[in-house]
Structures are given as C-alpha cells and as structure tokens.
Amino acid sequence: MKHIREENIVRRQEEYLQELKQWLRDTEDVPLEEMSDFFVKRLNGYEEHMSVWEKSYQLLAESVPDGCRNILDLGCGTGLELDQIWKRDPDVEVTGVDLCRDMLDKLLEKHPDKRFTAVCQDYFQYDPGQEQWDAVISFESLHHFLPERKKELYQKIYRSVKAGGVFVLGDYIACCDEEEELLRDVYLSRRKQSEIPEDCFVHFDIPLTLEHETSLLQSAGFRIENIMDEDAVIIVCRKI
C-alpha cells in the first residue's frame, strides 16, 4: 500500500511539472509586472481570488500563540490573515508592512477600529527593531524573492522577535528541486531579457523546497516547531 501511495505522489508531481512547463511556454512573451502595480490592477477581485486559502489563513492565525500582544505582518496586503487573528483576539496590536498603498487602504477601511499601523514600504528596507515583537507573520509573500534576499530578511526577523517569540510563515513551497530550479532559471532569464533593474520587485513565483526554506530559517537561528501542509505550507519557528 505504501508503495502505491508513493507511486501516486510521483505521478501527480510529474503531471504538475508538465503543466507548469506548458504554462511557462504559454506565457513566455507576457511581460513581468512590477509588484505593486500587479496588485493594484487586481485589487477589486483580490480577496475573492485568495479565498481558496481560507483554511490556511485560519491555521496561520491559530499558530500565533495566545498572549501575543504585538505582531508584525510582512506583506500584509488587505489583511486576510489579520481578519482571522482579530477574530480570535480583537485587541492584538499589529504593524503591517506592504508595498501597495491601495491594499493597505483596503485593510484600514475594513478594520478602522483595530490597533493597526500601516507601513507602505519594501519590507527588506523596513527596520523592525530589536526584540520588539511577540510574533512576526507573513503569508504568501516571500516566495517572490531569491533565497539570498530571504536569508538576510530572516536574520533581521530573528533579531526583531522577543526571546521565546515566533515567526509564522505561510507560503507556497516548491514540490521538488526541479520546480525550484526551473522557476528560478526562468525568473532570472526574463529579468535579464527585459533589463529589469535589480531594485525593482516583480510578480513571479520562485518558491523554495521545504528543505531549503527550513534550512534558511534555521541558519537565521530559528528552531522549527511545527510544519503544517494545508493549501499553503505553514511553518512555525521559535526564537530560542
């Protein structure tokens, strides 16, 4: 029975990779979009589109320990994960960092009564301070960036979390090395072909495998406490 399950997993993975390769061929002439512009254009249907992640939003919220009073959300968007967190505890104070002003405005419009500070900024440039947060969270945002950038960010997050605090990451994880390498190669090739400046963020998925993602987090100092595979993969990391 185990052998049959493993064969089914391999077959599904092969089918997925073939579909991904075909999609990349079909879209090879579609220009990469600047990150903030991408989300501004899709703001009206964004929350409906992201509703497929509802269980993952709930799981991320449940992974934030009770008693966290001060949370930093990196790439908060319109706050779909915060909707769930504030359902559990309406008094949690949150700072949300996002590149897209329109998405932050939508979040503020939804939650005018919450203790929320909006920061419209690149979170690689944002200074989160030292031992300031009970928890840092991020959902479906960091898979747009290369591991070299993420490694520096994870180190900064580690320093910013209080002793015993957590970083809860919910993200798209590559199924295998082949997917990770394929998407990275296409991403770099298209950036070069379009002569996109290094400091310009574009919307293109370059996820890491779970092994590589957790390795980056551990190299920053985090202890991996739990990994849950819902629709997105939720990784709970503790500062020890």
Q: What is the pLDDT of residues 128-171, one digit of tens each?
A: 999 999 999 999 999 999 999 999 999 999 999 999 999 999 99
- Mean pLDDT value across residues 103-110: 96
Percent of the chain with pLDDT over 70: 96
Check pLDDT > 90 for residue 11.
Answer: no
137 with 35, same domain: the answer is yes
42 and 60 within one domain: yes
- pLDDT, one tens digit per residue, over 35-72 is 999 999 999 999 998 888 899 999 999 999 999 999 99
Q: 41 and 142: one domain?
A: yes
Tens-place pLDDT, residues 115-128: 999 999 999 999 99
Residue 15, pLDDT score: 95
One domain for residues 59 and 164: yes
Whether residues 120 and 197 share a domain: the answer is: yes
CA atoms of 136 and 120, how far apart (whole Å)? 17
228: burial class by Cβ within 10 Å (0-12, 13-18, 19+)?
A: middle
Q: Are residues 1 and 45 located together in one domain of the fold?
A: no
CATH number of the CATH domain containing 148: 3.40.50.150
pLDDT value for 4: 47
pLDDT for residue 9: 66
Rounded CA-CA distance 39/46 in Å is 8
Provide, rounded to the nearest whole percent, the portion of the chain with pLDDT above 90. 90
pLDDT reported for residue 8: 61
Q: What is the domain range of residue 180?
A: 31-239
Q: Looking at the structure, do residues 36 and 24 belong to the same domain, yes or no?
A: no
Whether 24 and 35 map to the same domain: the answer is no
Question: Helices (DSSP H) in the chain: which residue ranges?
Answer: 2-26, 35-41, 43-49, 54-63, 80-88, 101-110, 147-160, 177-194, 210-219
Confidence bin at 5 (pLDDT 50/70/90):
low
pLDDT tens-digit series, residues 167-206 = 999 999 999 999 999 999 999 999 999 999 989 999 999 9
**What is the mean pLDDT of the segment spanning 223-229?**
97
Specify whether 12 is located in the same domain as 71: no
**Selection from 204, 222, 219, 203 nearest residue 136 by Cα:** 222
Domain count of the chain? Answer: 2
